[in-house]
Amino acid sequence: MSHRLGAEVCAVLRLSGPLKEQYAQEHSLDFQRLLDASTYKEAYRKDMIRWGEEKRQADPGFFCRKIVEGVSQPVWLVSDTRRVSDIQWFQEAYGAATKTVRVVASEQSRQQRGWMFTMGVDNAESECGLDNFGDFDWVIENHGDEQCLEEQLESLIEFVHSRL
């Protein structure tokens, strides 16, 4: 979606970016390899989740503040918000300007894309902390029907343009 709005309008922000960067520094790991979907990342995933939870417990806005530093675009897409506390931080910091979008996919379509459930990881707050959060402004269904997905995205993009 960011490429449709343009880089001068939309910044894609990843909460996992500063988390993985800080984790890599503290544990002498390859930050770039922690960013992809590799076996390297998976080897550290559980500990990285534990470590990130400790940071959030000490300061719930730690990673949120890090990703917005120096961002000048008027639209921010936080691509990996996974906790109610993350949404609350943005709502408290930016009020009504904060809009939430939930992307959902059936378990079957996720499995077709190569996802496999991992106990202790995929049922942790880092993966499902927003499953019962019911106040999303938009819900995008991504079950594999490209035309349906495209229509939903166009509607969302029109909404964003109407607010610029």
Write the CATH number for 98.
3.40.50.300
Give, for all 164 residues of the chain, the pLDDT tens digit: 678 888 899 999 998 888 999 999 999 999 999 988 789 998 998 899 899 989 989 998 999 999 999 999 999 999 889 889 999 999 999 999 999 999 999 889 988 888 888 888 777 777 888 988 888 999 999 998 999 999 999 999 999 989 88
- What span, in angstroms and rounded, lies between the C-alpha atoms of 16 and 105? 21
Domains of the chain: total: 1
- Ligand-binding annotation for 123, yes or no, is no
pTM of this structure: 0.81
Q: Which domain holds residue 22?
A: 2-163
Ligand-binding annotation for 132, yes or no, is no
3-state helix vs strand vs coil in the chain, percent to 5: 55, 10, 35
Q: Is 4 annotated as a binding residue?
A: no
14 is in an annotated binding site: no
Cα distance between residue 65 and residue 83, in whole Å: 15
